[in-house]
Amino acid sequence: MSISIKQTLHFIDSPEEFLADIAVQNTMLLIDENVLKLHGKHVEGFNSITIPSGESQKRMEVVEYIIAALLDAGIDRNGTLIGIGGGVVTDLAGFVASVYLRGINFGFFPTTLLAMCDASIGGKNGINFGAFKNMVGTITQPNFIAFYPAFLSTLPNREFNSGMAEVIKHAVINGGELQKFLQGNERTALLGNPEKLKALCQLAAEVKVTVVEKDEREAGLRKRLNLGHTIGHAIEALNDLTAPVGFLQARAESKANTSVTSKKTHGECVAIGMVLAARIAVRKGLAKEQLVEEIIAYCNAYDLPIKTEIKPELLMEKILKDKKRKSAEIDFIMPHSFGDVRIMSLELKELENHLKEMANE
C-alpha cells in the first residue's frame, strides 16, 4: 500500500471546495438518484451517471451500463470516477473504477451513515451475483473518501438506524472509545447534531481503518468485521434485496416511488445476524447472557430488528454459498464480549442446529 488508508479520509466543510482541484473533463460522477435530487447542487458542472437507488443495482448489467457511459464520455486512464451515495453506490463505483481500463482513480462522497461508518472504507468493492451477496469484487483502495456529515440531514430515520447497526457492530468488535461514545450519546443526542455525527463517524471509521491497515486482504484480523454477516447476508438474500430485476424496471419502480419497505435493509440484516451470533456464543458457553442483552438494548434504541421469521433450512441454503464456507465448516465470527470478538471454525451442521433450536426458543 503506497498511501495509508487514514490519509485518504477527509472530513470536509464543502464538497464544492473539495472538488475544486479535480479535472472536470476527465471525471465522472456515479450518483444515486435520490441523492442527486437532494444534494445535486454541490456537484453541478460535472459529468454524471445517475442510477436508481436499491441493492438490486449492485449487479453486472449495471456495471456494463456504467462502463459504456465512461467510454462514451471518453474517460481515460488518468480519469476519475467519484461515487456519491450510500454503500450501493460506493461498492459499484469502486468496482467499476478498479476494473475499467484495468483501473482508474476513484473516490467517494458517502451520503448514508452506513457508507460513512463502514461501506466506503477499506477498499472492498463488490457486486452481487443473482441472489448472492458480494460474490464478485476487488480489494482496491479509493484515492479519497470525503465525509460531509451535512448529507445526513436528509437521511430517512430507517436508513439512519440501519447505519447504526454497523456502528454497533464496530463497538462490539472494538469496545473502547466508540462503545463509550454510544453509551454517552443516546439517539436523540445524535440526530440533527452535525458535530456529534462527525465524532461518531470519526470513531467508527477509526475502528475500520485500524483493522484494514493491519490486514487489507482479510487473511485473519479483518474477518472480525464480518460479525453478524454470515446470517445477515443469508437474510438479506432471502429478503430478495438482491434478486435481479431489469435496470429499466428498477428505474420505473423508483420513479413511481413503489419501493418495498417490508424488505430488510443491509444494516437490519446485520443487526439480526449479530444478535443471533451472540446467542450462539452464549449457547456454546463462550459469552455471558449479558452480551446478548446489551446488543439487543443497542438494537432496540435504534429500532433495529433482533430476530427473523425465516426458516433455518432456508438460511442454511444461502449460508452454504457464503464466501467464508470451507467444505463442512465456516469461519464464524463469535463475539465473546465487547472488545473481544474471535474467528472460529464452526461446523455447518452445528450452526444449523443452533438456528433450529433458537427458532423454537
Ligand X SMILES: NC(=O)c1ccc[n+]([C@@H]2O[C@H](COP(=O)([O-])OP(=O)(O)OC[C@H]3O[C@@H](n4cnc5c(N)ncnc54)[C@H](O)[C@@H]3O)[C@@H](O)[C@H]2O)c1
Q: Pick the catalytic residue from 39, 170, 222, 264.
A: 222
**Identity of the residue, 250 or 287, whose beta carbon is nearer to ligand X in the bound complex:** 250
Q: What are the two backbone dihedrals, phi and then psi, of residue 341, each rounded to the nearest 5 degrees?
A: -125, 130
Q: Which residues bind ligand X (CB under 6 A)?
A: 32, 34-35, 38, 53-55, 58, 85-89, 91, 111-112, 114-115, 118-119, 122, 124, 134, 151, 154-155, 159, 162, 265-267
Note if 59 is an active site residue.
no
Grid cell at residue 286: 463462550
Residues 190, 200 contacting (CB under 8 angstroms): yes
Note if 354 is an active site residue.
no
Going through 5-72 in order, the beta strands assigned E by DSSP cover: 9-11, 27-32, 47-51
Note if 222 is an active site residue.
yes
Note if 124 is an active site residue.
yes
Residues 328, 351 contacting (CB under 8 angstroms): no
Q: Pick the catalytic residue from 42, 133, 208, 354.
A: 208
Strand pairing report for 132-139 and 124-129: antiparallel
Q: Pick the catalytic residue from 125, 134, 161, 226.
A: 226
Residues 23, 46 contacting (CB under 8 angstroms): no
Note if 185 is an active site residue.
no
Least Å distance between CB 306 and ligand X? 18
Question: What is the DSSP annotation of 268-303?
Answer: HHHHHHHHHHHHHHHHTTSS-HHHHHHHHHHHHHTT
**Identity of the residue, 208 or 279, whose beta carbon is nearer to ligand X in the bound complex:** 208
Note if 39 is an active site residue.
no
Note if 266 is an active site residue.
yes
**Measured CA angle at 177 (ends 174, 181), to 5 deg:** 115
Least Å distance between CB 114 and ligand X? 4
Least Å distance between CB 75 and ligand X? 22
**Identity of the residue, 38 or 60, whose beta carbon is nearer to ligand X in the bound complex:** 38
Least Å distance between CB 155 and ligand X? 4
User: Which residues is 84 bridged to in the sheet?
Assistant: 31, 109
Tell me the catalytic residues. Answer: 102, 124, 166, 208, 218, 222, 226, 229, 233, 266
